[in-house]
Amino acid sequence: MSDQLIRFVSKDNQFRAIAVETTLLCDAARRLHNTDPTATVALARVTTGAALLGGLLKGDQRLALAIEGNGPLQKLHAETDAYGHVRSSIKNPLANLPPRDDCFDVVNAIGKAGFLRVIKDLGLKEPYQGMVQLQTSEIGDDIAYYLTTSEQVPSAVALGVSLTPQAEVQKAGGILIQALPGCSDRAISQIEARLRSLLPISSLLQAGESMEQILTGIFTDLPGNPPDKISLIFRCNCTREQVAGILNSLGQDELTEIAEKQEDVEITCEYCRQSYRFSPTELAELIG
């Protein structure tokens, strides 16, 4: 069984809806980065948010979501593509913050001052980049703010993450709803009211509801045709050749200095934690 992305357009063509369950993805990120519980929830939210935005991509398009704040986590980053491949990373995996109001203190772990950045590779000459200041550091709210202000598409985002008593990811998922051109103010108000009355996504998932059932609770007019579904999986595209290219980009002088130390150099991928070791001989070959 794998995580899944579901997307559809409402029968009246007024809304686009994307829903994801990301439990396996988020727990994989937790294991790879050895995060503490608060950092786990923050990283899971960013991972889920990126997966949702991936539902807007087509073909070979790619997207990166980055959040930088003045809290102890410093920076969170996630990447995805139109095929459901997702990877994520965190600068500092230990928030070391106690719960606040019986909830994980993600807001202060991220920090109340900072930026959310979205980079899209749409197959053009240069990637598209958009950035907004963090509004609440709740991540879902900040993604919705970015989509509404920077991309001019009225959007609502709900993210949910719950942990087991052992601090593993128990359930994770999210919903993105966007108003399409011509959508009426009345229809938007109706959907907003339904979202306000909705139980937390994590609670609904824990109760055994699927993302499709959750969407049914928001939209009573699911399309007659089955929604489009894509499996979500963790995949990192790092290779030894790419890492060698990074070393080569240091420049001949710096690379020569490293090689002269006659020590192996080890570089670890920030996403999958795969380590790549280069011997002095291999470094010399890079220098040419």
Q: What is the 3-class SS of 145-212, one letter each residue?
A: HHHHHCCCCCEEEEEEEEECCCCCEEEEEEEEEEECCCCCHHHHHHHHHHHHHCCCHHHHHHCCCCHH
CA distances to 81, 107, 200 from 220, rounded to whole Å, are 30, 33, 19
Each residue of 43-66: pLDDT tens digit? 999 999 999 999 999 999 999 999
Query: In terms of C-beta distances under 8 Å and separation of at least 24 residues, what long-range contacts does 222-229 make, across chains too?
Result: 222/8, 222/10, 222/11, 223/8, 223/9, 223/10, 223/11, 224/11, 227/6, 227/7, 227/8, 228/6, 228/7, 228/8, 229/4, 229/5, 229/6
* H or E stretch at 106: helix 106-110
pLDDT confidence of residue 250 = 81
Cβ atoms of 94 and 36 closer than 8 Å: yes
Query: d(Cα 216, Cα 10) in Å, to the nearest integer?
Result: 11
Spans of the chain, pLDDT less than 50? none
pLDDT at 216: 83
> Which pLDDT score, from 0 to 100, does residue 225 have?
58
Give the pLDDT score at 163.
96
pLDDT confidence of residue 101: 81
pTM exceeding 0.85: yes
The pLDDT value recorded for residue 222 is 55
